[in-house]
Structure 1
Amino acid sequence: MDEEEARSFLRRFTDEFPAPLEEGSPLPVSPLSRKVCLEELHGESLELGLRLLATRGAPSVLSALLCQAALSQLLQNDLSPFHCPQEAEATQEEEQSVVLLQSEPVQRLFLNKLIDVSLAWHQNFKPPPSPSRIRQCSVHAIKNTRRKMEDKHLVLAEFNQLFGIQDGVERAYYAVFDGHGGVDAATYAATHLHVALSKQETLQSDAATAFKTAFKHTDDMFRDKAKRERLRSGSTGVVALIQDQELTVAWLGDSQAVLVRQGQAVTLMDPHKPEREDEKQRIEDLGGCITFMGCWRVNGTYAVSRAIGDFDQKPYVSGDADCTTTQLCGDEDYVLLACDGFFDAVKPSMVPHLVLEALQHSGDPEEGGDTPLKQPEEMTGLRVAQQLVSHAKAAGSSDNITVMLVFLRPPEQLLSQDAATGTAQATEDSSSQDAPQQ
């Protein structure tokens, strides 16, 4: 983290918020929910704080550290004044359920903790340790021809800083969630899954087990919220966690991840689809069925066989994630995460050629890139995801499309590698065989 950039931000932020927000005053950013349980407060507060700081141009590492410090202070407070009053007509079962908090006043307290921490750091700033490596990441998402945008994504290179983890293992977290029937399940997963993952004792020793537990816990949490608020949506998801030289990918449904090593696509996973033989057998063993209605569907409803949410079709639509772990050897190029809106139009074997082609034409820092980068040498991978999304749309995808490209090596190295080895043409030739006929 650049010290001068951090000091400059703290100066601007404390100029804007020189004192705590007054009771009853409007919040500078709206909470996701009107009511939250104590467990949800963790994820919703972090999301709120990161969103507020991002809109004001805070360095990402500083944002994570500020939010972590503010949340730690918030959780030391007596939160009983924020408890929601019991409804007079509540049933006995509801009265015994989890205690809910009024989101706006408790989030005002959180934001005031954030302001307090910022003021203290502005007056006595000590540069905190930063991740030794921040991987370049290109992300682009579009609503496409759909009426609503139901995808969500999260890039969290500062995983340890956000959760105060100091075990010497560097971590970065990347996620794409593809909602259906509304955006609530995707939003919930993007807000809470990484929080649940951070609390798993097996995170360092067995990331796959940690992921499976975190997915299941997030699904259970969302079940309670869906019951309270009569929500009916669901979401597939694909998530990657990099711990030092270990890549763990976890997924539910038909969102996918592709690893590319030395210009060749490496299969990491098999997406969960109703027509997949083992998924079909699992559903039929439970008493369900797979029917074809334009596409294969579970009990004539959902076109995915695993998801967060979709509680009207549980357990046929399972909430159990699958995981795979890969040791990174240093010759990996990147990992690509995307929803089915991309992979319905682009075969995984086409990814290396499309990315290489995008890299060769992405050096121009024209308007429309994903994230403004400062150094000219960093412009190489800037608009890759945008060009991949455009390709999927041109190839016929009408769905929401989200593409996330996490470079495991600097993208300019990939270009120089292909120029030096002559593999670019070979990659193009092999990929063209899979290209859809126009």
Structure 2
Amino acid sequence: MEKQSVAATSTNGRKKNEFLNMMKSAFSLNSSAPDTGKGRSKSSSNRVSHGFHLVEGKSGHDMEDYHVAEYRSKKNHELGLFAIFDGHLGDRVPNYLKNNLFNNILEEPNFWKDPEKAIRNAYRSTDKYILENSSRLGPGGSTAVTAIVIDGKDLWVANIGDSRAVLCERGSANQLTVDHEPDSERRRIEKQGGFVTTLPGDVPRVNGQLAVARAFGDQSLKAHLSSEPDVRHVGIDETMGFVILASDGLWKVMKNQEAVDLVKSIKDPQAAAKRLTTEALARKSKDDISCIVIRFRC
């Protein structure tokens, strides 16, 4: 993710990345190889399938995107758990989120009675933990978009930052998430003592550094950032074909309806996710591009 300004990247960090890239080359580890795969719900009645495809960008830093795509059985329910975490200033925070955020959500005592409250509480407590352990997890941060499918019938989506979830409903794109851009939250940021700047040829940034107004982590900017997610519930019915979760590496170069139109005829969700990332690359997106397609009634 190119969320942090170039000025915030240290010389030591560049040297470290150069050394790591040399080591990868020496051992024939191709870090730019795509991460791709697919799966489906174990329950024949739920009929949910997914595919994912992640490609490292060409912005001069190592891959900072992580994803989750799995199914779990809990209290006689089947949960589809999907997420994309788009990191900045290193990959420690998104890697932590990959391994812990859903556990934190599902461990909330009120998850089954009030999923929205559980998701909000888990986002807050997870951010608090990241900040309290910044010496180990580093100074960076991450956006997030998460989706929980319960028994193939209910969809709970949450996000902070500009990773996005778009639902295909009767062939039309319905954005389920909110892009948390600095300009749209300028009043809150300024009230908290921060500022938003836009340099020529650049995008609005919090304190001249971060290009999103909400994120996990980012200790140095936390006084002016929020980790409060937008949460959305959708009852899944026969009018809904699929959901696209993707990082801004896709959405920077593609409109919601364009993405839906591009893959609505592709039944294999992995092929659909790959088609979207391939098109984003063709449109010269240089950021990391991460995409999950979740199909209903596959």
Say what the alpha-carbon RMSD is for the aligned residues.
Answer: 1.9
* Equivalent of residue 142 in structure 1, options 55, 78, 89: 55
* Equivalent of residue 66 in structure 2, options 136, 152, 159: 152
* Equivalent of residue 43 in structure 2, options 131, 146, 171: 131
Question: Secondary structure of the residue that 1:323 maps to in structure 2?
Answer: strand
> For residue 152 of structure 1, what is the amino acid of its counterpart?
Y
CA distance in 2: counterparts of 1:282 and 1:334, whole angstroms: 34
Distance verdict in 2 for CA 1:381–1:170, change over 3 Å? closer
Question: How far did residue 267 of structure 1 move?
Answer: 2.4
CA distance in 2: counterparts of 1:60 and 1:397, whole angstroms: 29
Aligned equivalent of 2:111:
203
**Identity of matched residues, %:** 30
Distance verdict in 2 for CA 1:408–1:209, change over 3 Å? same
Is 1:234–2:122 an aligned residue pair? no
Q: Which has the larger radius of gyration?
A: 1
CA distance in 2: counterparts of 1:260 and 1:221, whole angstroms: 35
Q: Say which structure is richer in helix.
A: 1
Question: How far did residue 382 of structure 1 move?
Answer: 3.6
Tell me, yes or no, if the aligned pair for 1:134 and 1:157 is still in contact at 8 Å.
Answer: no
> For residue 161 of structure 2, what is the amino acid of its counterpart?
G
> For residue 58 of structure 2, what is the amino acid of its counterpart?
T
Is 1:396–2:284 an aligned residue pair? yes
CA distance in 2: counterparts of 1:257 and 1:272, whole angstroms: 13
TM-score by length of 1: 0.56
Aligned equivalent of 1:306:
214
Q: Say which structure is richer in strand.
A: 2
Is 1:174–2:82 an aligned residue pair? yes
Which consecutive unaligned segments of at least 5 residues does structure 1 have?
Answer: 1-58, 62-129, 360-378, 411-438
Is 1:284–2:190 an aligned residue pair? yes
Which consecutive unaligned segments of at least 5 residues does structure 2 have?
Answer: 1-38
Question: How far did residue 346 of structure 1 move?
Answer: 0.7
Question: Secondary structure of the residue that 1:397 maps to in structure 2?
Answer: coil
Q: Deviations over 1:263-307 (max 9, x none)?
A: 11112122111011xx11111111111100311000111111111
CA distance in 1: counterparts of 2:134 and 2:49, whole angstroms: 36
> For residue 252 of structure 1, what is the amino acid of its counterpart?
I
CA distance in 2: counterparts of 1:252 and 1:353, whole angstroms: 26
Structure 2 counterparts to residues 20-59 of structure 1, below 5 A: none
Structure 2 counterparts to residues 184-333 of structure 1, below 5 A: 184-227=92-135, 229=136, 231-244=138-151, 245-276=153-184, 279-293=185-199, 294-333=202-241
> Which structure's relative contact order is higher, taking Cα pairs within 8 Å and 6+ residues apart?
2
Question: How far did residue 319 of structure 1 move?
Answer: 1.4
CA distance in 1: counterparts of 2:78 and 2:216, whole angstroms: 28
> For residue 283 of structure 1, what is the amino acid of its counterpart?
I
